[in-house]
Each structure stands twice: as C-alpha cells, then as structure tokens.
A = this chain, B = another copy of it.
C-alpha cells in the first residue's frame, strides 16, 4: 500500500470541518494528520472539545488529535482543507499558501479573485491550472483553490451537461436549502419550525455569479464568464441536509424534454475529473418518478456525491424545467473539496 499524504483540516470543529474529518476516514490517498480550531479549543483533544453533530460516528483516529492553532507553523503537511468561516478565511488561507501549502477551501473568500479557480472536477477540471497563474502572480509556492457555494454545486453540474449539448441562454433557479448550509449553531430552531425563511444573506449574488465562472473558459490567463443570464431566489427550509433547486432553463439550441433527460442522465465528466476516488457514480442520476428528487430519500445517492435530477418537463416560458438535488455538506462542501484535492494531485499541482 502506498503511503498516504498527511493533510490538515482548518476549522475542524464546525459543521463542515466535521464533515471533512468524517469523509477523510479511510481515504485512499489522504490521511488526517492535524486539525486546527479556535483559540479556546487549542491544546484540547478533538474528541473532547468538538460537539459532534454529524450522524456518522466520529472516527476513532481523529479523537486523539490535539487541536492546533490555525497557523502554518508547526503543521507539517503539504495539503490543508479549509472549513474556516468567511470572515477569517481570506487572511488565514493566504498564510498557508504563502508557506507553501496547497489550500482546498470551502470558504467564499477567494472565489471572486481572477487567479483563483472555483473547481468542480466533473465540470471544469481545466480551471485547476489557474493555480499556475496564481503562483506566478502571487509568488506563492502553495496555492488556493475553492469549491463553489453549496447551492451552486448541483445546479452547475446539471447546467454543464446542457451547455455542452445545446448552449445556455437564460436560467431561472429557486432554491430550498437545508439548515446545515448555515453551519452550527446556524439557524435557530424558532426561526424554521413550521416556517420557511425566504432569504439567505448574500446567497443570491453568489448563486448568480459562480456558475457563470465555472462554466466560463480561459481567455488568456483569466476565466471569461459564461454568457447566459441567471436569476435566483434563495429560501431556507426545515431540512437537515440536501439543497433542492427548481430550475427553468432556456437553451440556445432547441431541445426536447426527452433529449434533455437523456443528456443529463448520460453526462460523462471530462477525463481529468473521472475515475478519482470521489468521482460520483453516476455523476448525474435522473429520476423518472414524478415526485423525486426528495432531500430525505435521495441526498445520499452515490455516497452523497451524485447530483440528482428529476421532473424534467416542458416549461411554458423557457422551454425546459427540472429539479436538482445535491447534498450540501458532502458534494457541496467537504466532499467537493476533497474531490478537488484529488484532481490537483492527478494534475501534478500538489507539488509533491
């Protein structure tokens, strides 16, 4: 057996941090070697200081790790996964990249930077090479890559399949998002029991921009945004995990409902994103049941990595409508970041 690459999780005691810890258990390439956390937890054992909220049990190997301060000093790993809150991510992640480490970040801090890729290996593995530009421009030996906002994830994967086949012109998307997307403690129960919150702070601008960057292509050393219009509404609903999105799409070339279902269901990712340990099987699953996907029943499809599409049907304005479900803390967060790291390793961008 090959030796596994030691990795660290930054901000490991939060809800996404815990997912990283859980998903890295038994990973064939990476081995959790260190965890960092906020000041009051530094020096304590992870198993004792972490209020574990993931349904799967905490891996035994993680329990005895001693929480370290979130600084590069003392972390002897080539790769870190960042579950840091947005507020501190910008400054902290830079430190790790300039100290020579590869940062696979779930935070939004760097997504808008022209030299930082937002990666979905099923969609735009070629964007990984934006880190060459980044290293040159910033003089870093390490680098920063990001995965998209959890709401953008499944939607972008579904849109990619259509973009390849018939082009995109207009996209209308309304999300029904799970509470785990807000972290922990996150949404107070009094706000969501018997309720919907039709607003998520700063979510709609991200959701209208990130898919266009990921679906864009290199123009020189930057990514030109894909040329389609996108309008969104974001809602929080009483679901633990799994973001569901209602979509209406106008394609550039006409397409029938049957063709769309076929294109979505047979979508094959670019070769670079295929065959990695975390590549979803299948990448997209298209349900023919009239009332699927549903978060509770379908979020764990493909170990939580598959994008589930259903209700593909005709839209009276845009031509095509359907529903997309994606597990927000697995495919849309920690699992996506790990998948990105696998891509970087294959592409020789880990520097080891």
Q: Assess whether A198 is interfacial by the CB under 8 Å rule.
A: yes
Asked if residues B316 and A231 are in contact (CB atoms below 8 Å), the reply is yes
Q: Please tell me if A179 contacts chain B, counting CB pairs below 8 Å.
A: yes
Q: How large is the interface on A (under 10, 10 to 19, 20 to 34, 35 or more residues)?
A: 35 or more
Given contacts A170-B317, A233-B246, A317-B229, contact A189 B196 (CB under 8 A): no
A238 contacts which chain B residues (CB < 8 A)?
Answer: 189, 193-194, 237-238
Which residues of B sit under 8 angstroms from A15, Cβ to Cβ? 190
Across the interface, which residues of B come within 8 angstroms of A293, CB to CB?
A: 198
12 residue pairs A–B, Cβ–Cβ below 8 Å: A53-B297, A187-B190, A189-B189, A189-B238, A190-B240, A197-B291, A198-B291, A198-B293, A199-B311, A231-B318, A235-B246, A240-B296
* Interface core residue of A170, A184, A191 (most chain B CB under 10 Å): A191
Complex Cα spacing A170 to B316, Å: 10
Q: Shortest distance in angstroms between A204's beta carbon and chain B's nearest beta carbon?
A: 9
Q: In the complex, what residues of B have CB within 8 A of residue A318's CB?
A: 231
CA distance A198 to B175 in the complex (A): 11
Q: How far is the CB of A173 from chain B (nearest CB, A)?
A: 9
**A230 nearest in chain B by CB position:** B316
Measured in the bound complex, the distance between the Cα atoms of B239 and A189 in whole Å is 9
Q: Footprint of B on A, CB under 8 Å?
A: 15, 52-53, 55, 57, 170, 172, 174, 176, 179-180, 184-199, 208, 229-231, 233, 235, 237-240, 244, 246, 248, 290-297, 300-301, 310-311, 315-318, 321, 323
Q: Smallest distance from the beta carbon of A179 to chain B beta carbons, Å?
A: 5
- Which chain B positions have C-beta within 8 A of A192? 189, 193
**Closest chain B residue, CB of each to CB of A243:** B196
A291–B57 alpha-carbon span in the complex (Å):
16
User: Are A195 and B239 interface neighbours, CB within 8 A?
Assistant: yes
Q: In the assembled complex, which residues on chain B have CB atoms less than 8 Å from the CB atom of A198?
A: 244, 246, 291-294, 310-311, 323
Return the 5 tightest CB-CB contacts between A and B, nearest first. A185-B188, A233-B246, A199-B291, A174-B174, A195-B296
A176–B235 touching, CB < 8 Å = yes
Q: Are B179 and A189 in contact (CB under 8 A)?
A: yes
**Residue among A193, A235, A290 having the largest count of chain B Cβ atoms under 10 Å:** A193
Q: Which of A191, A195, A293, A300 has the largest count of B CB atoms less than 10 A from its CB?
A: A195
Q: Which residues of B contact A193 (CB under 8 A)?
A: 179, 189, 192, 194, 238-240, 296
